[in-house]
Amino acid sequence: MKGKQTVWDMVRSLAVIGLVVGAIYIFIPHDDKADPTRVVDYRVELITARRAAPYPVAAPQGLSADWRATSVSYERRSGNAWHLGFLDPAGQYAAVEQSTLPARTYVPKVTQKAELTDRTQAVGDATWQVWEGEKYDALVREEKGSTTVVTGTGSIAQLTELARALKAERG
């Protein structure tokens, strides 16, 4: 039967492909212990957000290099939402979230349904509301025209450290 492949031909082809892939895996250097976290440089997005947002956009200054920025975005159509995500020195997630939306609607959205407690946290001269959730806790500050949220999986102490480093500016 000329021109027709048999099952045996397909098995041999797969074996050859498997050998080639195995050789590539063995001979191409790779580090199984490398940190897969992709660090982002958020400076350009910060400048852009500060020019576009109708409120002073917050970003940390003076955090140690152990705080690694991993995500950044600004979405004008979603309440002028600013997002800056980090891994803290302990490997916990932390983020700065800002928007023109009111806290009662914005905070549950960015914290995966955290709820307001009766506690507050002093950060410098400011008082922040403490919100607690199943996944994320948060420190929240409502100011004229904007809501600022510092949220994450870390402790309130870690979130306070991030909140303390925030500097809000307009572009």
CATH code given to domain 43-169: 3.30.200.100
Longest dimension (CA), the chain: 86
Please tell me the predicted confidence (pLDDT) of residue 2. Answer: 55
Dist. CA 106–CA 151, nearest whole Å: 12
DSSP-derived letter for residue 29 is -
Cα–Cα distances in angstroms (integers) from residue 140 to residues 78, 94, 108, 166, in the given order: 18, 13, 11, 13
First to last CA, the chain: 74
Please tell me the predicted confidence (pLDDT) of residue 46. Answer: 96
Determine how many CB atoms are found less than 10 A away from the CB of residue 15: 10
Query: Which residues on neighbouring strands pair with residue 115, listed in sequence order?
Result: 132
CB-count burial class (<10 Å; 0-12, 13-18, 19+) for 163: buried
Contact 52, 100 (CB under 8 A): no
pTM value is: 0.78
Contact 101, 114 (CB under 8 A): no
Please tell me the predicted confidence (pLDDT) of residue 11. Answer: 85
Please tell me the predicted confidence (pLDDT) of residue 34. Answer: 55
Tokens representing 144 are: 């004229």
Dist. CA 150–CA 155, nearest whole Å: 11
Dist. CA 6–CA 19, nearest whole Å: 20
Tokens representing 87 are: 């891994």
Cβ-proximal residues to 149 (8 Å cutoff; 6+ apart), any chain: 95, 96, 97, 98, 103, 106, 107, 110, 111, 138, 139, 140
Please tell me the predicted confidence (pLDDT) of residue 35. Answer: 55
Residues of the chain with pLDDT under 70: 1-5, 30-37
Please tell me the predicted confidence (pLDDT) of residue 26. Answer: 78
Please tell me the predicted confidence (pLDDT) of residue 36. Answer: 62
